Amino acid sequence: MAIKKYKPVTPGQRNKAISSFEEITAKKPYKKLLVPLKSTGGRNNTGQMTVRYRGGGHKRMYRLIDFIRNRDGIKAEVLTIEYDPNRSARIALIQYEDGPKSYIIAPNGLKVGQIVESGAEAAPELGNCLPLSAIPVGTLVHAIELRPGQGAAMARSAGTYAQLAAREGKYAILRLPSGETRMVPAACRATVGTVSNPDHNLESSGKAGRSRWLGRRPHNRGVVMNPHDHPMGGGEGRASGGHPRSRKGLPAKGYKTRNPKATSNKFIIERRKK
């Protein structure tokens, strides 16, 4: 999963650095696991723009990913490693012994032909999905449930993972890359390994057009607007705009927006590092 850098033959290629896609083994997705994905352009059901700077972009089909992995005791073979336009990680098409196929988030290092399994009896090996109670302490895991049976909710994007630090009674203690340490019910499932495409953060589009392909429109700063349009707008010349805040006046850069009465507070042992 290397990064491909281009020679500056054109201005758009001068700083271009994208994935080499060398791990991809299939050009077309499995049709039965595709559903149409409608583009909203940042509009809600009444046509009102609720999110700015979105629109356009290439058409996409959504890949149905199996985040629950509840076919216990049935081995599955990895058929392909594929690109997914809806996420930063790679996905893997697997086929179970009894016939059905499904997509899963591909762990880093997963190969075509490899066998993966789920359930408490599965070995804690790359790509296998087990309850946290059955995974050895110190193992790196991803695609973690927060409630038993809910499906993977945490550590799903490219290169992410969490480390199983300890177990206390009904809970497993996970250490996240942000520095946060939190408790998760030990009955929750997680997949062994780290998420694929770890070099995703090293990519550079090289030109504005690639952002447009992804459905991102030009973003302008609040300080260059008029006072009517933004709290930080206005002023003579290049005024800094005062205290950084959102368009609706909510302070940014240090202002705590987390609800102190959030129910998940009791599961967080140590907050992330500042």
Band (pLDDT 50/70/90 cuts) for residue 2 is: confident
52-108 pLDDT tens trace: 999 999 999 999 999 999 999 999 999 999 999 999 999 999 999 999 999 999 999
| Residue 64 identity | L
Q: Which two tokens stand for residue 248?
A: 């609706």
pLDDT at 1: 61
pLDDT at 241: 85
pLDDT at 195: 98
State in Å, rounded, how far the first CA of the chain is from the last one.
30
What's this model's pTM, rounded to 2 decimal places?
0.92
CB 179 within 8 A of CB 192: no
Q: Measuring CA to CA, which residue among 115, 138, 139, 145 is closest to residue 127? A: 115
100-137 pLDDT tens trace: 999 999 999 999 999 999 999 999 999 999 999 999 99
pLDDT at 273: 78
Band (pLDDT 50/70/90 cuts) for residue 185 is: very high
Query: pLDDT above 90 covers what percent of the chain?
Result: 93
159: left (phi over 0), alpha (psi -120 to 50) or beta: left
Domain boundaries, the chain: 3-201
Range 3-201 has CATH code 3.60.15.10: no
Answer positive or negative: Cα dihedral of 193, 110, 65, 119. negative
